[in-house]
Amino acid sequence: MTGAVPGGADVLRAAAQSRAALGGAVTRDWHAPVSELDWTIGEVVAHVTGATLWYSVDLSARGADLTNLTITADPNASPERQLDALVAAAALLAAAVDAAPPDARGFHPMGAADASGFAAMACDEMLVQTWDVCRGVGVPFEPDAQLAAAVLGRLFPWVEDSGEPWPALLWANGRTEWHGRSRQSSWTWHCAPLVEWQP
């Protein structure tokens, strides 16, 4: 890990882990729906790629109005091209995160995020939605526990992982039950700087 909060290297690590897992599904039909989601596999991966690209732009724009800009990824591209695009988007965000000054902030609906917030959100998108796809196609996926712990601590500082950061992260994202806690029907990130979080 790169430290207490996710940074550029962690974005690259999440992308590599997602690509490795999703690579086990390239022979599947990427137009097939993903269980419990309204999207196909291709749409899930395109969403993650597009979100990661947006994070790099929003961080770089420092809060400027970008309503004139459109960023999308093609959900109908081949699986191999989609995975290449995901890794490329992660590389762009990693560079933006590592180049950002400590006071850099960018727009996000859940709060003006700093570099670590954007890095954590991208990691969360990649890891959790890779799990969504893998669960649907029967491909096992569990990311690096240290990476899951860093993302959980950065975006969900109110959740104790109890030594199980990956199950805790899935629960925090409304994916599963966890230690007797019901599956959440709604959830939110804390993507603004951690110093602004009030317990």
pLDDT digits (tens, 9 = 90+) for 57-106: 999 999 888 889 999 999 999 999 999 999 999 999 999 999 999 999 99
For residue 113, pLDDT over 50 is answered with: yes
Q: What is the pTM of this model?
A: 0.94
Mean pLDDT along residues 12-23: 97
Predicted local distance difference test score (pLDDT) of residue 1 = 39
Q: Does residue 2 carry a pLDDT above 50? A: no
Long-range contacts for 84-88 (Cβ within 8 Å, ≥24 apart)?
85/49, 86/15, 86/18, 86/19, 86/45, 86/48, 86/49, 86/52, 86/126, 87/15, 87/16, 87/19
Proportion of the chain above pLDDT 70, given as a percent: 98
Angle between helices 41-61 and 79-99 (to 10 degrees): 20
Is it the case that residue 49 has pLDDT exceeding 80?
Answer: yes
- Give whole-number Cα distances, 138 to 4, 29, 42, 133, 181, in Å: 33, 13, 16, 9, 25
Architecture of domain 8-143: Up-down Bundle (1.20)
Give me the amino acid identity at 160.
E
3-state secondary structure of 115: helix
Using pLDDT thresholds of 50, 70 and 90, give the confidence band for residue 3: very low
Picking from 44, 31, 37, the residue whose alpha carbon sits closest to that of residue 73 is: 44
Give the amino acid at 67.
T
Domain boundaries defined on the chain: 8-143
**Higher local confidence (pLDDT), 38 or 9:** 9
Give CA–CA dist 72/74, Å, rounded: 7
Residue pLDDT, tens place only, 150-172: 999 999 999 988 889 999 999 99
Q: Dihedrals φ, ψ of 33, to 5°? A: -70, 150
Sign of the Cα torsion 24, 26, 29, 30 reads positive
Residue 158 tokens read as: 């109110």
The pLDDT mean for the chain works out to 93
